[in-house]
Chain A
Amino acid sequence: MPFHVYGVWRADAVLPDGLEGLYDTPVTTVAEDGLAALVSECPETPTARRAELMAHARVLEQVIETETVLPMQFGMCMPDEQTVRHDLLVTYRPRLATQLSQLDGTVQVTVKVVYREDDALREVLHRSPRLVQMRDKLASIPPAAAHFKRADFGQEIAGELERMGSRDGAEILGALAPLALAHAEERLLSPYHILNTAFLVRREERPRFDEAVGKVAQQWQELGTVRYLGPQPPYSFVDLEAGDPAWA
């Protein structure tokens, strides 16, 4: 029977009662030498629909409330219990054990800050009289003739927006990073995305971090929206590749 794998934790960690995972099957553990994988049964051809994705995230978010767990990427489907033991827990034991130890007592939270388009563009114009002039000049040219100039103007706007976003993003990061153990900057999806960063925070320091994020949200409310996710397992702070697996 294939197993969907959610994550790895210490074998002595406590599984919440009645935890259900993908395909409405119960989450169980497969233990080996002090480590355990959280798994549930899955079909031979596992699917990646909304239900499966949300279940994977939900199980991990429930577990991280009380226990340290190293999350698997979605889609890990191992053919049987033996494979889970050998190819995951035994093979990668040193790396897994090290990370569990390092990440003990921490959680991940993610902060995303996105400008609202109109507000950001107004601010860009507000900060740059030169661009206001360009726009006014453009307005006086008939649209058909203005094509070249419009793209130039658009490019200038884009540049200013980029600079502004970069500065604001750095400022926000500067306010939050000192309150975390580590952070990992993730991809920014558009010129209006100015921060998308995962933070590793000690559990006991969460309230302080939450408060700081609240302040950021308030300070930037004129220009954008703050999205604050967590607590999450440390998705952005785990990996299997650093260091050799046990059998290498």
Chain B
Amino acid sequence: MGLISGIFTAPLAPIKGVVWVAEQVHDQAMRELYDPESIQRSLDQVQLDREMGVIDDDEADRREDELLERLIEAKRGGNPHG
């Protein structure tokens, strides 16, 4: 990722609020993307947005399809990004 790779990782002593370790945060974020609970939350949100008219049916379908694909991948034991 262009953003992350441009940052020097220089871990300081882990004092609250002052540490920036790009790799760990990135990996954690990846894990969260393939976390079934997180995906389920997103699916719920899409449904809510659909019901409230925030997004139209086509857009809702598109997002749900992508989330479903990710969920199945997660359940197969994958997080393709490690």
Contact = CB atoms under 8 A, between A and B. Distances in A.
CB–CB under 8 A between A and B in the complex?
Answer: yes
Interface of A: 48-50, 53, 147-148, 151, 187, 189-190
A22 B60 CA distance: 22
19 contacts: A48-B68, A48-B72, A49-B65, A49-B68, A50-B61, A50-B64, A50-B65, A50-B68, A53-B68, A147-B17, A148-B16, A148-B17, A151-B17, A187-B37, A189-B37, A189-B40, A189-B41, A189-B44, A190-B41
Given A48-B72, A147-B17, A189-B44, 10 more contacts: A50-B61, A50-B65, A53-B68, A148-B16, A148-B17, A187-B37, A189-B37, A189-B40, A189-B41, A190-B41
B73 to A, nearest CB: 10
Name the residue among A48, A53, A151 with the largest chain B CB count within 10 angstroms: A48
Contacts of B17: 147-148, 151
Interface in B43-82: 44, 61, 64-65, 68, 72
Contacts of A53: 68
Nearest to A147: B17
A56 to B, nearest CB: 13
Nearest to A114: B44
A194 B41 CA distance: 14
B67 to A, nearest CB: 10
Contacts of B40: 189
B76 to A, nearest CB: 10
A50 B37 CA distance: 18
A148 B64 CA distance: 37
A50 B64 CA distance: 8
Nearest to A189: B41
Contacts of A148: 16-17
Contacts of B72: 48
A53 B16 CA distance: 45
Nearest to A53: B68
A151 B68 CA distance: 33
B48 to A, nearest CB: 8
A49 B65 CA distance: 8
A123 B40 CA distance: 26
Closest 8 A-B residue pairs measured CB to CB? A189-B41, A48-B72, A148-B17, A189-B37, A189-B40, A147-B17, A190-B41, A50-B68
B4 to A, nearest CB: 22
A43 to B, nearest CB: 16
A107 B49 CA distance: 30
A148 B16 CA distance: 8
Contacts of B61: 50
Contacts of B41: 189-190
Nearest to A190: B41
Nearest to A48: B72
Nearest to B37: A189
A235 to B, nearest CB: 15
A164 B37 CA distance: 22
Contacts of A147: 17
